[in-house]
Structure 1
Amino acid sequence: MPELPEVEWGRRLALATALGRRIERVKVAADPIVFAGLSPRRLARALEGATVIGAHRLGKYLWLELDRTPHVVLHLGMTGGLHTPTRRFLPLASGIKEPLTRWPPRFSKLQMIFGETLNRKIRGGDEGEEGDEGDEGDERDIGARHQLVLADARRLARVRLVDAPLEVPPLSRLGPDLLNERLSFAAFAERLFRRRGMVKGVLLDQAFLAGAGNWIADEVLYQSRLDPRRPVQTLSREETKRLYAKLYRVVSFAVSVQADKTRFPKSWLFHRRWGRVDGAVTSNGQAIEHIVVAGRSTAFVPSVQR
């Protein structure tokens, strides 16, 4: 499943592609699962003619803010991604990057085609943010470059129309964002120790902190040297400090390299956690075991994580 770094990459791609542009045309696949009963006609009518004035993210959700309501909220599901004709596929950290060989890509669910930039109040990112292409290049190819597609082979992505995304579920139930709302150590510890259960389960709880998923939780616990089955109430102050530091470090680093797994440190468990391979070891030669924790497949290193 795309986790915070991958979804943030998608948000920045959307920002670079659509910010300040009018949605000229919308193509919607007839998929009642992805669109949760929202008809293609209703979605197209809601979006066509609106101007994108912001691109936002909270945890694993992102949404395009329009100059009128409703706004469009996206969740990428397990394998969904955002695409443009001139930018690579969303680099799912656990997946294989494939070249963009056809347009629109296979399994397209929602395609938005944008027009010229309009002079509207815009929101959603700092000026000069990484990934913002602006209006560089030949103006003749604007129609080709300024398109955004949501594609999803497994149909677990979701698209909704919402007037106030932060005020209604599911976004209203999420905890502080791991990238944009960093807690102090004291606030983190207080929030952590209000919870019961295994530490991995708490990290996966989006009401605790929004954005971590399975690979982030495994990586953070490995780097923190904590067994994923440890009850949170048994963590010492020093262990809690390690968990706090590694959690924010892993997320911020993955975002800084645009969720590109080839740029993750070679020492990360990430590179060796996939596939339940017998005899898998870390870069230091330590045995990796696979178990189920909090209902999720979990990779951990018993000789390190206590």
Structure 2
Amino acid sequence: MPEIGEVARIVHYLRKHLVNRTIKSCQGFEDNIVYGKVGCSADEFSKAVEGRKVTGAGQQGKYFYVTFDRKPHSVMHLGMTGWIKFSVEETGYYKQAKESTVVEEWPPKYMKWLIKCDAEKVDGQDREPVEVAFIDARRLARIRLVDCDADKIRDNSPLKENGPDPVIDKHILTIDWLAALMRRKKNPVKALLLDQANISGVGNWVADEVLYQARIHPEQYCNTFGDEEIKRIHDSLIAVCTTACETLADSKQFPENWLMKYRWDKGKKDSNVLPNGDKIVHLTVGGRTSAIVPNVQKKTAAVAGDVDEDGGEKKSKPAKGRKRKSKADEEDEDEAEEEEVLPAKKDRSKKVKAEKPEANGDDTAPPKKTAKRKKAKAETVEDADEGADVKEEPEGSKPATAKKAKATPKKEAKPVTPGSRRSSRNKSG
């Protein structure tokens, strides 16, 4: 997911190619999720933007906004896979670092809006025609209009509900402010950093980098740290976010000692090692994948229950019926609406219907085919509620066991009495 540095990259290109220009046309592509989830529509967006002069572009954490010469203005979020593309320049970042000779088609796929500007002279300089497209394949981005003055955009929803930005709000996000925040909360420190209501812009890899640089275990509770540890977290938070924004998320310019440059080989043998030989371990804690370096990130107080005493992931069997999370959820799922969960497999062993007893006068019901399997399962599960999976037997029948059923010889068919139904199982010919 694009985080604070990647959003800074988008804002940079918006200022370069769109600010101070007049939008000739805007074509919105209707999407009842990307627009509709935030009370907007493609048609409303197009009408509000077309013919307007762009006066500015900015960000707060993972959100970015574009202001015009009159309200309304637009606030946008890239979601998991959203991006802004320009017809005159490639704007990809480290995830597209591999060079390619393939010429990308224009207009691109998965567009949510397409803005066009004519060639014009701005501040005495000639500016070429440009087309700008907002794309999102997974439809987790958000595009909205905000009816307020341009200089008040951060005082309105959704920006006002988010915490301070570590780069543009350094005067707010001080050591004392962070210490007060951490001491009134009681959750793992990484969870605190990822909560956008606390601090804007910190995503999964940024949080892991901050905690690695600060030598802090990600699952230690945030209210257990001393002044010196909080200062390390604060300084690391400001430094990592500032570097990510100043380099426009270009990982080639990141310091060589950053965890971020070596953390992506999860599951590969003999990988996940820093240049100094320290091993990188991936933990799935609190539903999120965390990269840590155990030699550096030591625990000094209580940690979350899903991390063992050695800093490793506790191994436990998943509960029955629990939904399996997709790979995308494990990597980065900051918002609840961005989660994708695979449906749980049906537990067919609990839906076996009880067979009806024979109507030929025999009061013993035939043995159930699932009796042996249920008995074996019951013996292997500890502390299970008694009778939780037991089906109620039909009235007039006796409970059957698989062992007795195997040892019981086949009974001879009894003569049918008048008025009774003869079972097909007892037909002799």
In the superposition, the TM-score normalised over structure 2's length comes to: 0.62
Partner of residue 168, structure 2: 180
Unaligned runs of 5+ in 2: 299-429
Indicate the percent of aligned positions where both proteins have the same amino acid. Answer: 37
For residues 87 and 159 of structure 1, what CA distance do their matches in structure 2 show?
A: 23
Distance verdict in 2 for CA 1:240–1:135, change over 3 Å: farther
1:14 matched to 2:14: yes
Distance verdict in 2 for CA 1:81–1:254, change over 3 Å: same
For residues 34 and 282 of structure 1, what CA distance do their matches in structure 2 show?
A: 40
For residues 245 and 58 of structure 1, what CA distance do their matches in structure 2 show?
A: 19
- Root mean square deviation, CA, Å: 2.2
Are the aligned partners of 1:17 and 1:147 in contact in 2 as well (CA < 8 Å)? Answer: no
1:64 matched to 2:66: yes
Are the aligned partners of 2:28 and 2:112 in contact in 1 as well (CA < 8 Å)? Answer: yes
Partner of residue 127, structure 1: none
Give 1 or 2 for the bigger CA radius of gyration.
2
Deviation at 1:98, TM superposition (A): 6.2
> What is the aligned counterpart of 2:76 among 67, 74, 77?
74
Which structure carries more relative contact order (alpha carbon 8 Å, separation 6+)? 1
> What is the aligned counterpart of 1:149 among 115, 123, 133?
133
1:288 matched to 2:274: no
Deviation at 1:256, TM superposition (A): 1.6
Partner of residue 163, structure 1: 147
Distance verdict in 2 for CA 1:97–1:106, change over 3 Å: farther
- Output one character per residue of 1:200-234: Cα deviation in whole Å (capped at 9) or x when no partner: 00110112111111000001111111110011111
For residues 135 and 277 of structure 1, what CA distance do their matches in structure 2 show?
A: 55
1:201 is paired with a residue whose SS is helix
For residues 169 and 96 of structure 1, what CA distance do their matches in structure 2 show?
A: 35
1:105 matched to 2:108: yes
1:62 is paired with a residue whose SS is strand
1:55 is paired with a residue whose SS is strand
Partner of residue 353, structure 2: none
1:26 matched to 2:26: yes
For residues 147 and 264 of structure 1, what CA distance do their matches in structure 2 show?
A: 31
Unaligned runs of 5+ in 1: 120-133
2:36 is paired with a residue whose SS is coil
Distance verdict in 2 for CA 1:216–1:95, change over 3 Å: farther
Partner of residue 277, structure 1: 267
Are the aligned partners of 2:120 and 2:128 in contact in 1 as well (CA < 8 Å)? Answer: no
Are the aligned partners of 1:20 and 1:117 in contact in 2 as well (CA < 8 Å)? Answer: no
| Partner AA of 1:149 in structure 2 | A
Are the aligned partners of 2:187 and 2:222 in contact in 1 as well (CA < 8 Å)? Answer: yes
For residues 89 and 142 of structure 2, what CA distance do their matches in structure 1 show?
A: 22
1:255 is paired with a residue whose SS is helix
Structure 1 residues 237-252: aligned runs within 5 Å: 237-252=227-242
Partner of residue 125, structure 1: none
Deviation at 1:97, TM superposition (A): 5.6
2:256 is paired with a residue whose SS is coil
Are the aligned partners of 1:81 and 1:89 in contact in 2 as well (CA < 8 Å)? Answer: no
For residues 32 and 99 of structure 2, what CA distance do their matches in structure 1 show?
A: 27
1:258 matched to 2:252: no
1:223 matched to 2:226: no
> What is the aligned counterpart of 1:213 among 199, 203, 210?
203
Distance verdict in 2 for CA 1:104–1:297, change over 3 Å: same
Partner of residue 46, structure 2: 44
Are the aligned partners of 1:54 and 1:64 in contact in 2 as well (CA < 8 Å)? Answer: yes
- Output one character per residue of 1:167-221: Cα deviation in whole Å (capped at 9) or x when no partner: 4432111111111011332222223322221000011011211111100000111
Distance verdict in 2 for CA 1:98–1:51, change over 3 Å: farther
For residues 217 and 114 of structure 2, what CA distance do their matches in structure 1 show?
A: 43
Point out the structure with the larger strand share.
1
Partner of residue 129, structure 1: none
In the superposition, the TM-score normalised over structure 1's length comes to: 0.86
For residues 158 and 41 of structure 2, what CA distance do their matches in structure 1 show?
A: 21
